[in-house]
Amino acid sequence: MKEKNPEVAEVELRSIAKAVGISAVKYADLSKHRASDYSFNFDQMLSFEGNTAPYLLYAYTRVAGVFRKLGTPFDASKGQIVLAAPQEQELAARLAQFTETLNNVAEKGTPHVLCAYLYDLAGLFSSFYENCPILGAENPDQQQSRLRLAALTGRTLKQGLDLLGLETLERM
């Protein structure tokens, strides 16, 4: 991170590293079905690829980065979301399943189901982010719609990660 963001203070870097490390261990435990065995592997836990805490935390910081670059406060509660691109539709459909997923997790005591949901959501957001320019949208209405979708994704990721006891980060 220091190479990409030389302005970040050493204290903040340590804080980020600690949060990512603790989250990685917690998530590795919660993401597995409680009745299955797993091997304790730090390299796998700390990977930014696959169903890991760093991957999910990075997805959240990516959303936060969009709004940091926007530079002005944004009210996601006003206006509508237009789902024109397939990536927008897939992301919105998965977001709509959040409440059902939470109910399932609470009823059955299966946090790994929430982990799988968040991993899928992060992957869909990544596809949306790569294929549907947000700040570089074709027109202001499209930009506002995509900002709303990104904000909803960020809020959902944060709520899910909070429920798992993982600290979200504004940057990594």
Is the residue at 94 inside a domain?
A: yes
By residue range, what is the domain housing residue 137? 10-163
Domain of residue 56, CATH code = 1.10.730.10
Helix/strand/coil for 95: helix
Mean pLDDT for the stretch of residues 8-19: 72
Is the residue at 34 inside a domain?
A: yes
Res. 147 pLDDT band, cuts 50 70 90 = very high
Global confidence as pTM? 0.82
How many angstroms separate the CA atoms of 60 and 121, rounded? 11
Check residue 30 and give its pLDDT.
79
pLDDT at 21 > cutoff 90: no
Question: Which has more pLDDT, 29 or 142?
Answer: 142
Is the residue at 58 inside a domain?
A: yes
Model confidence pLDDT, tens digit, residues 28-65: 877 776 666 666 665 676 656 878 999 999 999 999 99
What is the number of domains present in the chain?
1
How many angstroms separate the CA atoms of 91 and 101, rounded? 15
Is the residue at 62 inside a domain?
A: yes
Res. 171 pLDDT band, cuts 50 70 90 = confident
Is the residue at 5 inside a domain?
A: no
Check residue 69 and give its pLDDT.
95
Is the residue at 140 inside a domain?
A: yes
